[in-house]
Amino acid sequence: TILVLDFGSQTSHLILRRLRSLGVFAELLPCTTKIADLSWKPKGIVFSGGPSSVYDEGSPHVDPAVFELNVPILGICYGCQEIAWRIDQTNVARGEAREYGHADVKIAKVNSNVDRLFAGLGDEISVFMSHFDKLVSLPKGFVIIGATKNSEYAGIAHEEKPIFGVQFHPELEHVRIPKGIIHGTTSDIQIQTPRGSEILRNFSVDICGAQPNWKMGDFVPLEIARIRDLVGDRALVLGAVSGGVDSTVGAALMREAIGDRFKAILIDTGCMRLNECEEVKETLGKHLAIDLTVVEAGELFMSRLADVSDPEKKRKIIGSTFIDLFEKEAIRIEKEAENTPNTGKVEWFLQGTLYPDVIESLSFRGPSATIKTHHNVGGLPERMMNGQGLRLIEPLRLLFKDEVRAIGRQLGIHESLVNRHPFPGPGIAIRILGDVTKERVEIARKADHIFITMIKEAGLYDQISQAFAGLDTNRSVGVFGDQRVWGYIVILRAVRTKDFMSAEVFNFDNSFLMNVSRTICNQVDGVSRVVYDLTSKPPGTIELE
């Protein structure tokens, strides 16, 4: 395993992704990790980039014990400056201008040991730079292995030890940053270090000696063994299942690991998609042998949501009602277990946390402002975790979304579920602008079903990251035959996104949208108008609320 120490760069997780796609397993930990606390010895360590300046007071620094492990080290951008700063604290300063974008690095040949980070790359490589600070002199014991016009020390290596630094970003192989994300940009920016992977392979495989044999295929048996080890052979694990890919894959892994000591619960909030609860129950039962307990609570949710139009209030009501019901169910299961031989107590709660959330919460600065509290809807309250001593089990914590999908396929979960668009915990309630009633949920649900079915029939589903139909509870006048109707406005939304932090509107053919509009108006009573939302994120969010 390669250890990546995170100094807070937006792209630290990409170092990990690149290494994993090379077959090299890597873990990301905060830069302040104490080496003595590690239960394993890394084969090599990468220091990521970061937004701070090494010479500022309060800037993050690594545990000096990192250098005593005697394993190869690669510093990237801030990470490179950190290596230099550790040595004599004078060799990093602010450049005259920020260097941002493309640069060509001339590779200096020293000897095949010292310059092996760039082995096989020829005389020059094109790289992506983004930095204010730079090295202004060579740290003691180092030589130059690469230079650009603006950065004399774009690549450095220690003459004797396997310590390397690069000012540029090898992890940014092909990245498109949508306009507006970087302040002042009016078009998308394409950035790349096309041979970045080769540099990371030289480091991890050739220099560190890591085996490039990590396959997603290894994940399932390893994780199942880990779960068995953790849970032991009596305890029960509870999990909330939503029908989304994360909770389904998590549930499938638990079922494989501990059989029916895993208890899956689906709370029907009354705000799920059309036929969703039945379909989820059937899929889990048929394909994964999981006996899902569906707690039908639509009426309760509707009564608590009556006359509430504030989005945050809706979320809170749904979250706390969800938890009340979940807690009741846990108590029931606990009681049942008391009478079952060879069964212990409920000790664990399954959570479908993915790696991006882990990275956020591991940040040495603490969770960043970008993390959304709403991602915890469906999580358990402190009183349940601490009060009843439940511990979290997170089998997906090392995976990215596409990796979860790959595991899902490997576990035999049906493609339609694996590729399913995400659906928020509060469901249709946050897709209705205004207060939620049973009638409005029903209308939004039918319109959504028509829209999604037509998208699938047109073969567009997999090109879209998330699509749905919501409802504006203001009403608009229409004519149906000779009749004047005063109906709701259906809002169609479809976006493409990689990370759900920013998104672009999906570009349908107008004729397709007109067809959807016609079908919804014809088939869903109470709708007089259909509109398509053309707002990207930012400034809009993906959901309507």
Among all residues, which ones are annotated catalytic?
77, 169, 171
Tell me the per-residue interface mask from 14 to 53 with ligand XMP, x by CB under 6 A, - otherwise.
----------------------------------------
Binding piece for ligand XMP, criterion CB under 6 A, among 108-116, 152-160, 379-387, 535-543: 535-543
Candidates 373-381, 398-406, 442-450, 525-533; binding stretch for ligand XMP (CB under 6 A): 373-381
Q: Could you count the other beta carbons within 10 Å of the beta carbon of residue 73?
A: 28
Q: How many helices (H) and strands (E) does the chain have?
A: 15, 21
Task: Identify the residue among 426, 432, 451, 516 touching ligand XMP (CB under 6 A).
Answer: 426
Q: Is 92 annotated for ligand binding?
A: no
250 in contact with ligand XMP (CB under 6 A): no
How many residues bind ligand XMP (CB under 6 A)? The answer is 14
Among residues 74, 54, 192, the alpha carbon closest in space to that of 135 is found at 54
Residues 6+ apart with CB under 8 A from 242: 266, 280, 378, 423, 425
DSSP summary character for residue 480: E
Stretch that binds ligand XMP, among 272-280, 323-331, 344-352, 418-426 (CB under 6 A): 418-426
For ligand XMP, give the closer residue by CB, 100 or 500. 500
246 is in an annotated binding site: yes
CA distance 254 to 347: 14
Contact call for residue 541 and ligand XMP (CB under 6 A):
yes
Q: Is 58 annotated as a binding residue?
A: no
Query: Residues 449-488: x/- map of binding to ligand XMP (CB under 6 A)?
Result: -----------------x----------------------
Alpha-carbon span 225 to 11, nearest angstrom: 31
Q: Flag whether 244 is marked binding.
A: yes
Phi-psi region of 513 (alpha: psi -120 to 50; beta: other; left: phi over 0): alpha
The contact pattern for ligand XMP, residues 285-324, with x = CB under 6 A and - = no contact, is: ------------------------------x---------
89: left (phi over 0), alpha (psi -120 to 50) or beta: left
Q: Return the residue of 425, 428, 436, 443 that touches ligand XMP, per CB under 6 A.
A: 425
Residue 487, CB-side half-sphere exposure with 13 Å CA sphere: 21
Q: Which of 86, 106, 345, 374 binds ligand XMP (CB under 6 A)?
A: 374
Is 487 annotated to bind ligand?
A: no
Q: Is 439 exposed, middle or buried (0-12, 13-18, 19+ CB in 10 A)?
A: exposed
Q: Which residues pair with residue 472 across a beta bridge?
A: 433, 489
Question: Which of 95, 180, 344, 422 lies at the binding interface for ligand XMP (CB under 6 A)?
Answer: 422
Nearer of residues 89 and 535 to ligand XMP, judged by Cβ: 535
Radius of gyration over alpha carbons of the chain, in Å? 27
* CB-side neighbour CA atoms (13 Å) of 327: 17
Q: Is 248 marked within a binding site?
A: yes
The verdict on 427 binding ligand XMP (CB under 6 A) reads no
Quote the Cα angle for 279-284-288, to 5°: 150
Nearer to ligand XMP among residue 394 and residue 543 (C-beta): 543
Find residue 158's DSSP bridge partners. Answer: 142
Given the complex with ligand XMP, which of 95 and 422 has the nearer CB atom? 422
Three-state SS for 143?
strand
Q: Coil, strand, or helix at residue 287? A: helix
Residues that bind ligand XMP in the complex, under the rule CB under 6 A = 315, 374-375, 377, 422, 424-426, 466, 500, 537, 541-543
Known binding-site positions for ATP: 242-248
